[in-house]
């Protein structure tokens, strides 16, 4: 194994749900599959069994965005081959940030990589001689939470991932709702403040500009840069370096009782609840699952979100209210979900051998 890879341990079996988007044949239910989660800085790959358990996981750095798509394909291929040396894997699922077409074959646009209308499924399946499924990373995470995590047992689920921005996904009656063109769930780019903060998408006032990791950091840094005395405890934590203020640092400060950090998370939670109320009006799900790095704040975030949700819910007081819960699977959700979705197209293969793979070096 390359020294660039980092192995991580297995995790405990989460709760299960018997429903699947499409039921595999009985003999395929337990076949191990590989899930790949492609992030901005790391690529994680893991072998996942039919109960959502990660049997083995490896990580490596994401190739620089300026490099060609082939470099990323080479990295994914090596990770799969490394895992296939010790596990009899039968399909590969890729969770990628960006727009994935409705056929789950092409990455139309990836913000962290040089993928533009990239035929990733066919490129990898021809090299690995395995079925490959490409899925949006938020969809993969939502699927994992519905199958094995906080969404188990529900019929209608909406997941909201608060990271750098906001990702989202919908599971309805045991199926992922991808939309006609495969791009459903881009909740972060709903306009909530017309003419508001500029968003990298090109618009102004997008939801993720008010309820995300970037929003939390922006507000904290602006307060500190204004030399507000209430921000002094945050500045003390970073030696006066405003640029060193991060989302995890604000969350840690809030958990330790820093009043301004608590206030900043309440503000993000308020906007989260407002956006969820809008989603409830449109989609009327049974449960909202909140994931992503910002969700590590727990009740400091979810409590204000629930209050804002109830205040802004259409027909409040005269209708059932959706649950708002924290995700359970953490950073592994995308990997587990991608592997489970790949299981639907798995077929029995002999163990993949390196000699069967075209290197294309």
Strand order in the sheet with 107-109: 99-100, 107-109, 116-118
CA distance linking residue 279 with residue 256, whole number of Å: 32
- Taking residue 40's Cβ as centre, other Cβ atoms within 10 Å add up to 13
Q: Is the pLDDT at 85 greater than 70, yes or no? A: yes
Q: Are 47 and 346 in contact (CB under 8 A)?
A: no
Q: Residues near 291 by Cβ (< 8 Å), separated by ≥ 6? A: 141, 145, 159, 160, 161, 162, 326, 327, 329, 330, 333
- The strand pairing partners of 61, in sequence order, are 42
How many residues in total does the chain contain?
361
pLDDT at 30: 74
Alpha-carbon distance 101 to 189, whole Å?
Answer: 18
Average pLDDT of the residues in 280-292 = 95
Q: Which of 118, 119, 111 is nearest to 137 (CA)?
A: 111
- What's the pLDDT score for residue 287? 97
Average pLDDT (3-32) is: 51
Confidence of residue 16 (pLDDT cuts 50, 70, 90): very low
- 212: phi then psi, degrees, rounded to nearest 5: -165, 175
> How far is 337 from 340, CA to CA, in rounded Å?
5
Torsion, Cα of 161, 162, 165, 169 (10° steps):
20
- pLDDT 10s digits, 61-75: 887 755 678 888 899
What residue spans of 200-347 are helical by DSSP H? 213-225, 232-237, 247-255, 259-283, 299-312, 333-343
SS3 assignment, position 206: strand
Task: Decide if pLDDT at 10 tops 70.
Answer: no
Q: What percent of the chain has pLDDT over 90?
A: 65
Q: pLDDT band for position 359 (50/70/90)?
A: very low
Instruction: Quick: pLDDT tens for 309-332.
Output: 999 999 998 999 999 999 999 989
- E strand spans, 49-120: 54-61, 92-96, 99-100, 107-109, 116-118
SS3 354: helix
Q: Give the pLDDT confidence of 161-182 residue by residue, as tens digits.
A: 998 899 999 999 989 999 888 8
């Amino acid at each position: 194994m390359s020294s660039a890879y980092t192995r991580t341990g297995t995790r405990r079996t989460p709760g299960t749900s018997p429903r699947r988007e499409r039921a595999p044949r009985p003999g395929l239910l337990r076949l191990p599959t590989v899930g790949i989660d492609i992030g901005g800085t790391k690529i994680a790959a893991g072998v996942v069994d039919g109960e959502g358990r990660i049997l083995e996981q490896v990580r490596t750095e994401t190739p620089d965005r300026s490099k060609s798509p082939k470099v990323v394909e080479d990295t994914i291929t090596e990770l799969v081959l490394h895992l296939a040396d010790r596990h009899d894997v039968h399909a590969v699922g890729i969770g990628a940030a960006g727009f994935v077409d409705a056929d789950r074959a092409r990455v139309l646009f990836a913000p962290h990589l040089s993928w533009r209308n990239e035929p990733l499924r066919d490129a990898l399946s021809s090299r690995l001689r395995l079925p490959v499924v490409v899925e949006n990373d938020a969809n993969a995470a939502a699927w994992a939470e519905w199958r094995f995590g906080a969404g188990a047992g529900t019929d209608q689920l909406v997941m909201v991932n608060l990271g750098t921005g906001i990702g989202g996904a919908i599971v309805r009656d045991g199926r992922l709702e991808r939309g006609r063109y495969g791009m459903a769930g881009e909740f972060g780019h709903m306009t909530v403040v017309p003419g508001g903060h500029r968003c990298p998408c090109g618009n102004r006032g997008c939801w993720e500009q008010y309820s995300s990791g970037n929003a939390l950091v922006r507000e904290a840094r602006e307060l500190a840069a204004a030399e507000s005395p209430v921000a002094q405890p945050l500045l003390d934590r970073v030696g006066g370096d405003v640029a060193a203020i991060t989302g995890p640092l604000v969350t840690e400060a809030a958990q330790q009782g820093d009043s301004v950090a608590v206030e900043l998370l309440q503000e993000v939670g308020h906007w989260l609840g407002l956006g969820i109320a809008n989603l409830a009006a449109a989609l009327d799900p049974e449960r909202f699952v909140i994931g992503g790095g910002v969700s590590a704040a727990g009740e400091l975030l979810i409590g204000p979100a629930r209050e804002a949700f109830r205040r802004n819910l259409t027909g409040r007081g005269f209708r059932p209210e959706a649950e708002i819960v924290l995700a359970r699977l953490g950073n592994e959700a995308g990997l587990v979900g991608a592997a489970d979705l790949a299981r639907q197209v798995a077929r029995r293969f002999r163990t993949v051998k390196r000699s069967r793979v075209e290197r294309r070096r």
